[in-house]
Chain A
Amino acid sequence: MAKSKENKVLSTLWSAGCGSHGGCGCEIYVQDGKVARVEGDKNHPFNQGRLCAKGLAISQYMYHPDRVLYPLKRTGERGEGKWQRITWDEAYDTIEKRLKDIRAKHGAESVIFCQGTGRDIGGPITFLMYAYGSPNWVQVGLAGHACYTPRLGAMFATQGHYSVLDASQMLEKRYDSPEWTPPKYIIIWAQNPAAGCHDGFFGHWIIDCMKRGSKLITIDPRSTWFSTRSEVHLQNRPGTDGAIALGMLNVIINEGIYDKVFVEKWCYGFDELKERVQEYTPEKVEEISWVPKELLIKAARLFAKNKPSAIQWGEPVDAMPAGSVVAQAINHLWAITGNIDNPGGNVIARNSHGVTTYPFSSAELTKLYGADLVKKLNEKRIGANDYPMIKNFRGWVQPDVLIDQLETDKPYPIKGAWIQTSNIIGGQAADPRRHYNAMKKLDFIVCVDLFQNPTSMALADIFLPACTICEKESFRSWWQPLGVSVKAVEGVGEAKSDWEINLDLAKRLATTPIKYNTVRELIDDRLKDGNTNFEKLKAKGCWEYPPEGHNTRPYYRYEKGLLRADGKPGFETPTGKVELYSKKYEEWGLDPLPYYEEPKESSVATPELAKKYPLILTTGRRSPVFFHSEHRMIPWLRELDPFPMCEINDKTAEELGIGNGDWVYIENTHGKIKMKAKVTPTAHPKVVTAPHGWWLPETDGKAPNLFSTWEHNINNLTSMGNQGKSGFGGTDYRSGLCRVFKINGGKE
């Protein structure tokens, strides 16, 4: 290719249409108005020139023949796959009329605004929703809201702010920053960091730390690349992570190897925590979790005695029974060892420069939209009045309450859905059939996406084509740095950016006038908090770190009065300390101290059921080349991970007559789905691990097939209604029961 004719555009990746949560700096090479290729930007501190498989495949994604490039309206029945191209004007007119009609008849709250995983979409979707007047921002079907929000809520309650493993990502000089030091030990808790940028954390930063001396402790039912390189591997029974955290707290407290100075000065409720953890002896934890007590003790000692050390945790923590409680207990581990906001510990992570793109807290929602609006909207937000933690932390709907309301119309009916870059049926929803049946009956549904998927095919009345990251302007402030995404080319076909679509419609639907004429005005207004604007950031190479002394820059901010709204030293909690005994949990009617809860279905809780379904099913195994249910149609990526593939232990497989590569059914009380078996000693003999989000875009998209989602989506074996007492966590995504058997001699 004639690269000399290419024009290079620097940008930040953070969107559907590239991949995950990360904020990689990229070089977009443009030739004749088209993106020829995308590479990593060596000068960007986030990824330092590197890029994952998904980022490198953007051009195939953008110019894929199946990408939807024009607004469509449904002409047949839902699911019939009959679509007609329409103009944006017609699409907007229809949406305006239908949504205004619903609001007039049933109230704005009867339209739900549905997003998938959080990339830049949380910004535009809340913007449109509050303009329209609905309080119902939701990740439909995400049982127990089990993706990061439980962990965020636990950290918010315990320490006032969020924290993440410090891999120097808060500093522009990264590993060369003189104030940074690598963690001595990293606990990798229920995650494969190499598979992506989980929760905005570039997974390979762990490898960078390892090269600089960090040692590993891994907590994972599977043997992994990380457990291979770990000093200690706690190979636990899925669902028992809470017991492990409590057991480690027991060891650290009873052996007196916690940070006494930090606990004395900065923690509240230590004595109560000490009393609580007495019941979680290493012996008891071994009985619960399968983890030999010697290994538990060793892990606890290595972590506590080697400061700084840090914890990198994964989504399974959220999905545990009582997910927000498990997260609280793990938070206490880094708290009592003084590993908060210290170099190489769990550094406090705040939105860069105080800029909000995607509201991470109730405070940010209030800042953007005003206390009156947020208070008013809370009155009818689904689940808010059932769960004080849901009500007081962020602005989400509780998804398990939503599905009941969709089915019963109580306390009020849901009539419409705005679904933006979210594949509910083929992706996040537990019990997708139940959601399909409940949502089919809605009066009006809009899907905004880039490709048809099981959800848009099954439900959409209007389909609006969205841009990829290379075709739009956006901005990112998820921890550090503050960044902008630059439009390298015009929208392919007639695609528009999510921000543009939502601003256009907000102008039509808002009850009070929208003050922005253009998306650029909106972005610049939000960037004002950082004393900058889009053009300034673009001229700097698309990113900037906050200045020295800024409250979004580390370290030891609790000593300097940089965390609390009142400017006093300490943490932004009722007591000003890290609350080992949580005043907020207490206020919300929850146990202020952490405890262990057994999965609802397990060999312990339901031994009879476990006889019929003797294996533990843990879902959501990540692929490094896909992001959730995205990317299955991208040839460069699909070649690398062509089949839905579950992992089963070699000896277990032999007993079941299953060979490597055989097609199998995974079955439980909810039904059965098909996957190929990867027979491997890396799997625990009693655990089957399955990837999520599988559908086959190459098969018939029309109902009932819906791209084979009923055949291959593992979530068909999961259920709603198991939420924890806080409303967060308590799902069977990670700890269900199943049996596995070969199909037709192993052939499909």
Chain B
Amino acid sequence: MPRNGLLIQQDWCTGCHACEVACKQEHNFSGGMVGIKVDEVVSTGPDKVYVDFMPYTTRFCDLCAERTKAGEQPACVKHCQATCITYGTVAELAILMDKQPRSSIFAPK
């Protein structure tokens, strides 16, 4: 079985938190438990202050096994308002990533 993961183009993440609530709803998580999180990353350059957001998976991410088995996208991928998350095999994602600025692959399982 090829290994699956999420390619996250963090340059596009706006910090809207839809992925987190999509994950909580899908898994009925409560009490702060969640499979994906988004942090704000503020960095000061010589000319200006930069605001970025960094989504990352947690140990509770199961890549929405039930959804993907039924041919659907993981809940975070579907609902990401900036459409900056892609689901696929790690090998496919690595090819996609080659052409993406500031991006990461997470292979949580």
Interface segment among A222-230, A352-360, A568-576, A703-711: the answer is A222-230
Contact check, A53 vs B16: say whether CB atoms are below 8 A apart: yes
Contact check, B32 vs A194: say whether CB atoms are below 8 A apart: no
Cβ distance A45 to chain B, nearest Cβ, rounded Å: 15
* Complex interface: chain B residues within 8 A of A233 (CB): 48
Contact check, B21 vs A207: say whether CB atoms are below 8 A apart: no
Interface residues of A in 274-308 (CB under 8 A from B): none
Q: Known contacts A40-B78, A223-B51, A227-B48; is A51 also within 8 Å of B22 by CB?
A: yes
Cβ distance B17 to chain A, nearest Cβ, rounded Å: 5
Separation of A624 and B14 alpha carbons in the complex (Å): 10
* Complex interface: chain B residues within 8 A of A721 (CB): none
Cβ distance A635 to chain B, nearest Cβ, rounded Å: 6
Cβ distance B36 to chain A, nearest Cβ, rounded Å: 12
* Complex interface: chain A residues within 8 A of B21 (CB): 53, 56-57, 625, 636-637, 640
Q: Is B92 an interface residue (CB 8 A)?
A: no
Instruction: Specify the chain A residue showing the minimal Cβ separation from B78.
Output: A49
Contact check, A228 vs B51: say whether CB atoms are below 8 A apart: yes
Contact check, B20 vs A53: say whether CB atoms are below 8 A apart: yes
Q: Is A52 an interface residue (CB 8 A)?
A: yes
Contact check, B79 vs A40: say whether CB atoms are below 8 A apart: yes
**A33-60 near B? 1/0 per residue, CB < 8 Å:** 0000111101000000111110011010
**A195-210 near B? 1/0 per residue, CB < 8 Å:** 1000000011001100
Q: Is A639 an interface residue (CB 8 A)?
A: yes
Q: Is A669 an interface residue (CB 8 A)?
A: no
Contact check, A224 vs B16: say whether CB atoms are below 8 A apart: no
Q: Is A681 an interface residue (CB 8 A)?
A: yes
- Pick from A56, A203, A204, A635 the residue with the most CB of B within 10 Å: A56
Contact among A1, A211, A225 with B53 in the assembled complex (CB-CB below 8 Å):
A225
Separation of A211 and B84 alpha carbons in the complex (Å): 11
* Complex interface: chain A residues within 8 A of B28 (CB): 1
Contact check, A195 vs B16: say whether CB atoms are below 8 A apart: yes
Instruction: Specify the chain A residue showing the minimal Cβ separation from B77.
Output: A49
Contact among A52, A211, A227, A636 with B16 in the assembled complex (CB-CB below 8 Å):
A52
Interface residues of A in 548-568 (CB under 8 A from B): none
* Complex interface: chain A residues within 8 A of B80 (CB): 50
Interface residues of B in 49-70 (CB under 8 A from A): 49-53, 66, 70
Separation of A733 and B88 alpha carbons in the complex (Å): 47
Contact check, B52 vs A50: say whether CB atoms are below 8 A apart: no
Contact check, A53 vs B18: say whether CB atoms are below 8 A apart: yes
* Complex interface: chain A residues within 8 A of B78 (CB): 39-40, 42, 49-50
Contact among A204, A208, A228 with B52 in the assembled complex (CB-CB below 8 Å):
A228
Contact among A40, A50, A56, A207 with B12 in the assembled complex (CB-CB below 8 Å):
A207
Instruction: Specify the chain B residue showing the minimal Cβ separation from A223.
Output: B49
Contact check, B16 vs A57: say whether CB atoms are below 8 A apart: no
- Pick from A59, A233, A640 the residue with the most CB of B within 10 Å: A640
Cβ distance A649 to chain B, nearest Cβ, rounded Å: 10
Q: Is B35 an interface residue (CB 8 A)?
A: no
Separation of A38 and B75 alpha carbons in the complex (Å): 11
Contact check, A624 vs B51: say whether CB atoms are below 8 A apart: no
Interface residues of B in 24-51 (CB under 8 A from A): 24-26, 28, 30, 32, 42, 44, 48-51
Contact check, A639 vs B32: say whether CB atoms are below 8 A apart: yes
* Complex interface: chain B residues within 8 A of A681 (CB): 42, 44, 49
Cβ distance B39 to chain A, nearest Cβ, rounded Å: 11
Separation of A681 and B48 alpha carbons in the complex (Å): 10
Q: Known contacts A59-B25, A204-B81, A207-B12; is A224 also within 8 Å of B17 by CB?
A: no
Instruction: Specify the chain B residue showing the minimal Cβ separation from A634.
Output: B21
Separation of A194 and B22 alpha carbons in the complex (Å): 17
Separation of A591 and B64 alpha carbons in the complex (Å): 60
Cβ distance A661 to chain B, nearest Cβ, rounded Å: 14
Cβ distance B84 to chain A, nearest Cβ, rounded Å: 8
* Complex interface: chain A residues within 8 A of B5 (CB): none
Contact check, B15 vs A624: say whether CB atoms are below 8 A apart: yes
Contact among A38, A40, A624 with B17 in the assembled complex (CB-CB below 8 Å):
A624
* Complex interface: chain B residues within 8 A of A207 (CB): 12, 14, 81-83
Q: Is A408 an interface residue (CB 8 A)?
A: no
* Complex interface: chain A residues within 8 A of B14 (CB): 194, 204, 207, 225
Instruction: Specify the chain B residue showing the minimal Cβ separation from A4.
Output: B70
Q: Is A31 an interface residue (CB 8 A)?
A: no
Instruction: Specify the chain A residue showing the minimal Cβ separation from B49.
Output: A223
Q: Known contacts A228-B52, A640-B17, A681-B49; is A56 also within 8 Å of B82 by CB?
A: no
Contact check, A624 vs B16: say whether CB atoms are below 8 A apart: yes
* Complex interface: chain A residues within 8 A of B82 (CB): 194, 204, 207
* Complex interface: chain B residues within 8 A of A40 (CB): 78-79
Separation of A93 and B12 alpha carbons in the complex (Å): 55
Contact check, A225 vs B42: say whether CB atoms are below 8 A apart: no
Q: Known contacts A3-B66, A682-B49; is A635 also within 8 Å of B30 by CB?
A: yes
Q: Is A680 an interface residue (CB 8 A)?
A: yes
Cβ distance B50 to chain A, nearest Cβ, rounded Å: 5
Contact check, B48 vs A50: say whether CB atoms are below 8 A apart: no
Separation of A625 and B66 alpha carbons in the complex (Å): 26
Contact check, A53 vs B17: say whether CB atoms are below 8 A apart: yes
* Complex interface: chain A residues within 8 A of B66 (CB): 3
Cβ distance B62 to chain A, nearest Cβ, rounded Å: 14
Contact check, B18 vs A50: say whether CB atoms are below 8 A apart: yes
Separation of A39 and B81 alpha carbons in the complex (Å): 12
Separation of A479 and B42 alpha carbons in the complex (Å): 36
Instruction: Specify the chain A residue showing the minimal Cβ separation from B53.
Output: A225
Separation of A227 and B49 alpha carbons in the complex (Å): 9
**A44-88 near B? 1/0 per residue, CB < 8 Å:** 000001111100110100000000000000000000000000000
Cβ distance B102 to chain A, nearest Cβ, rounded Å: 12
Interface residues of A in 604-654 (CB under 8 A from B): 624-625, 635-637, 639-640
Instruction: Specify the chain A residue showing the minimal Cβ separation from B67.
Output: A3
**A675-706 near B? 1/0 per residue, CB < 8 Å:** 00000111000000000000000000000000
* Complex interface: chain A residues within 8 A of B15 (CB): 194, 225, 624
**B78-103 near A? 1/0 per residue, CB < 8 Å:** 11111100000000000000000000
Closest 8 CB pairs of A and B: A194-B14, A223-B49, A204-B81, A53-B21, A56-B21, A624-B16, A228-B50, A53-B17
Question: Told that A51-B22, A204-B16, A640-B21 touch, could you supply 16 new A-B pairs with CB distance under 8 A?
Answer: A3-B66, A37-B26, A53-B16, A53-B18, A57-B25, A194-B16, A194-B81, A207-B82, A223-B49, A223-B50, A225-B52, A228-B49, A640-B17, A680-B42, A681-B42, A681-B49
User: What would be 15 A-B contacts, judged by CB atoms less than 8 Å apart?
Assistant: A3-B70, A40-B79, A56-B22, A194-B14, A204-B16, A207-B12, A207-B14, A207-B81, A207-B82, A208-B83, A223-B51, A233-B48, A624-B15, A681-B49, A682-B49
Question: A residues engaging B (CB < 8 A)?
Answer: 1, 3, 37-40, 42, 49-53, 56-57, 59, 194-195, 203-204, 207-208, 211, 223-225, 227-228, 233, 624-625, 635-637, 639-640, 680-682
